[in-house]
Amino acid sequence: MALEYLPIQAEHAGPAGPRQLVRSSRPAWKGTVPELSAARVTLLSSAALRRSTQPPFSPPTDTSFRAIPADPAVADLVIDHRSPVGTDARRDPEIVLPRAALAALQRRGLVGSAAPTAFSFVGASRLPRQVEEELGPALAAELAALGTDLAVLVPY
């Protein structure tokens, strides 16, 4: 049985209380998925990852995003998310943004291509309206410009 996180978070919530989970006001479903071996895949992570040279995020109310090279050789990634579960991810961001794994699957022919850019932002936002009305459309436009056939989103 899967570990239940919500009771733990509720028990240890700070003065602001536990985060309210908000369902999409505009649920969407594209019935068909692309053939993976021909698809361009873009990775997204809510770990607030960025290059060390990029401006830091300001969790938890930051709704901006950073574009990160999908090339795993670009290794100067830092995590600004304040969650305490990031001990291992700070040592190896691949466990939350699997750029090398995606590149390997491309080499094996299982996916058509990895988009040259991945994206990251601050998860567990307390600003759902801004996420839906600003961050979401901005990221969708970036994904479309990259010719993305499949977006793989990794919650932190």
Residues making contact with another protein (CB under 8 A): 2-6, 8-9, 11-14, 21-24, 26-30, 32-34, 36, 41, 44, 46, 82-89, 91-92, 94-96, 98, 100-102, 104-105, 110-111, 123, 128, 131-132, 135-137, 139-141, 143-144, 148-156
Answer for the pair 148, 40: CB distance below 8 angstroms, yes or no: yes
Task: Give 53 or 87: the residue with its C-beta nearer to another protein.
Answer: 87
Minimal distance in Å, beta carbon 140 to another protein? 4
Minimal distance in Å, beta carbon 131 to another protein? 5
Answer for the pair 86, 155: CB distance below 8 angstroms, yes or no: no
114 token code pair: 């990895």
Torsion of CA 147, 152, 153, 154, to 10 degrees: -140
The answer to whether the Cα torsion of 127, 49, 136, 134 is positive or negative is positive
Task: Give 67 or 101: the residue with its C-beta nearer to another protein.
Answer: 101
Answer for the pair 48, 123: CB distance below 8 angstroms, yes or no: yes
Minimal distance in Å, beta carbon 146 to another protein? 10
Task: Give 54 or 127: the residue with its C-beta nearer to another protein.
Answer: 127
Task: Give 33 or 53: the residue with its C-beta nearer to another protein.
Answer: 33
d(CA 46, CA 25) in angstroms, rounded, equals 20
Minimal distance in Å, beta carbon 101 to another protein? 4
Task: Give 21 or 53: the residue with its C-beta nearer to another protein.
Answer: 21
Reported in sequence order, the residue ranges of 85-144 that DSSP labels E, i.e. its strands, are: 113-114, 117-121
